[in-house]
Structure formats: structure tokens, C-alpha cells
Amino acid sequence: MRPSLPFYLYSDWRSVGFAFVATFAVILPAAGKSSRFGDAFYKKPFAPLENRPVWMHAAEKFSNRPEVKQLLIVISPEDKDDFDEKFGGNAAMMGIEVVVGGTERSDSVQAALSRVRDDIDFVAVHDAARPCVAEEWIDRVFAAAEQTGAALLAAPVTATLKRVGNDKIIRETVPRETLWEAQTPQVFRRQLLLDAYARRGTELATDDAQLVERLPHPVTVVPCSAMNLKITSKDDLRLAAAILKVLPKPTLLSAPHPFADDHLWR
């Protein structure tokens, strides 16, 4: 068991005298149906955005981080052949493991979680269709997870919310003061997330934090910008292209992959 002293005094559970450096695995779910995206040719994680697929923008935000020791993308069985043909070389050069997912998002994350190495301390789950996450936001949510065991990025709700019936008549105006829109990455101590998935049962969950909440275990909210948007429609692609131009460039700690400037759909 890890000693009950501040984590920064330890290099691991057994050694003292050096700073403890946590290790992270990142899971990128990309196995959804993309039914709301409405494109006959692309699912949203694979749609072109600034000459790269959306998922690659998301993956690049983590691939050069020294604390990220494992990076996995989860795809649908029906997409496996196309992914291998179009992007298999890119994934290999970026050190990304490809995992075949399941019917529901939770099934897909659980499939990837089973592949996370035992030496990993924390697992981050980040939507493959969320390409605009900035390095600073990742820094903050990783740090919060190290302190509390579970943290996610979220943006406070600013719009007026109405609860509406099936007849499209407003039933009430919902107070927004305590409402936040959950984003990703959602980051958890590895064993905590394993426990949450082991107990998930048959009840559906729309994100990983919901499973951790059911344990129960508190999940810390790390304030973030609405610019960390998830691609849902084609309009979102245009917004994402504009956002990518204003985000600070990530700090590259290793050489970029050799396909960085290729047009992947030629």
C-alpha cells in the first residue's frame, strides 16, 4: 500500500527521496454510430479537419506528453478494415494501440481498459471527436486527478434552460447556477476506474464519471472553455477549424510523425 505521505515524496509506492511521477494511459473512444453527424462518407472521428481526421487532432494532444505512456483508440468492428488501410500507419508511428469496441460507449471503454498496463497509475478517457483540447487544460485536469483520484473538464452552463414535455410545452425553467456541461478528458486513478466498470451492471452511463459517481466516489470538476467542443454536426467542423487556429500550439517533446503534412484522403 502506498504510504500516507504527500505523493511528491515518492518515486513509486516503495521508494523515497525522489519526486513521484504519475503515469497515464489515454483512451480515445471512436466507435460510435455518428447518427447525428449525417454524412454518407464519414463518421465524425474520421471526418477531415484541416487535412487530418478529427481523431488525429485529439490524439496528437496526448502523444507527446511524457507522462502518457499508453495511448489507445477504440473503433467499431465495422470500421476496422478501413481504419487499418487509411490510418494504420499513422497510428503505428504515433504509438497508438487500436482496440475493437462494443455496442455501447461503456463497452468500448471497458474493452480498452482491459488493455491498460498494470504499471499505469491513471487513465484518461477523451472523446476522439473532441479535437480542440488545449495543453493547459490537460495539465489542469491531470493535476486535479492526481490530487483527488477523479477529475473531469467541464464548462458552466450559461444559457437559460427549459424543461419541455413531449408536447413541446415548457414545464419549467431550470436554475443553471449549479449546472455544468461535462467534457473530456475525464481522468481517474486506474484501479478506481476498474472498480467502477466492474460494478457497472446493465444500467447505461453516458460518461465514465457517472460510473465512478455510483461507487460512490467524488469527481472533481475542473473549469474549462466551451472551445473544447465535441464534434456532433458538420457545423461543428467549421467551428473546430476556427478554434484550432487560435489555440496555443502544443509543446513538442519529440519529432512529429512523418505523416503530419500528408493529405490522408488522396
Secondary structure (DSSP) of 196-208: HHHT-TTS--SSH
**Residue 262 belongs to a domain:** no
Q: What total of structural domains would you count in the chain?
A: 1
* 12 found inside a domain: no
pLDDT class for 34, splitting at 50, 70, 90? low
Give the per-residue pLDDT at 201. 83
| Among 32-36, 101-105, 221-225, the least confident range | 32-36
Domain membership of residue 170 (yes or no) is: yes
**Which CATH number do you get for residue 144?**
3.90.550.10
In a domain, 152, yes or no: yes
Q: What is the pTM of this model?
A: 0.85
pLDDT tier, 20 (very low <50, low <70, confident <90, very high otherwise): confident
Write out the H or E segment, with its range, that includes residue 62.
helix 54-63
Whether 220 has a pLDDT exceeding 50, the answer reads yes
Give Cα 8 distance to the centre of its chain: 26
**CA torsion sign, 90 to 262 to 43 to 152?**
positive
Closest among 105, 121, 134 to 209, alpha carbons compared: 105
C-alpha cell at 182: 461535462
The pLDDT value recorded for residue 124 is 98
Query: Is residue 66 pLDDT above 70, yes or no?
Result: yes
- In this predicted structure, the answer to whether residue 29 has a pLDDT above a threshold of 70 is yes
> Residue 181's domain spans which residues?
21-246
Of residues 168 and 254, more confidently modeled: 168
Query: What distance in Å separates the CA atoms of residue 162 and residue 195, rounded to the nearest whole number?
Result: 36
**146 contact partners, CB below 8 Å, separation of at least 6:** 7, 22, 122
Give, as one character, the DSSP assignment of residue 255.
P
- Write down the pLDDT at residue 33: 77
Asked if residue 233 has pLDDT above 80, the reply is yes
Q: What percent of the chain has pLDDT over 70?
A: 83
* Residue 16 confidence (pLDDT) above 50: no
Strands 150-156 and 180-189 come out as antiparallel
- Burial (CB count <10 Å: 0-12, 13-18, 19+), residue 155: middle
Dihedral of the alpha carbons of 92, 126, 40, 260, in degrees to the nearest 10: -40
Q: Does the pLDDT of residue 251 top 70, yes or no?
A: no
Tell me, yes or no, whether 120 lies in a domain. Answer: yes
* Lowest-pLDDT choice from 55-59, 121-125, 178-182, 233-237: 233-237
Q: Report yes or no on 187 lying in a domain.
A: yes
pLDDT for res 43: 84
Express each pLDDT in 191-212 by its tens digit.
999 999 999 988 788 899 999 9
Per-residue pLDDT, averaged over 70-99, amounts to 95
pLDDT at res. 13: 41
Q: Give the residue with greater pLDDT, 4 vs 127.
A: 127
Is 230 contained in some domain? Answer: yes
Report yes or no on 53 lying in a domain: yes
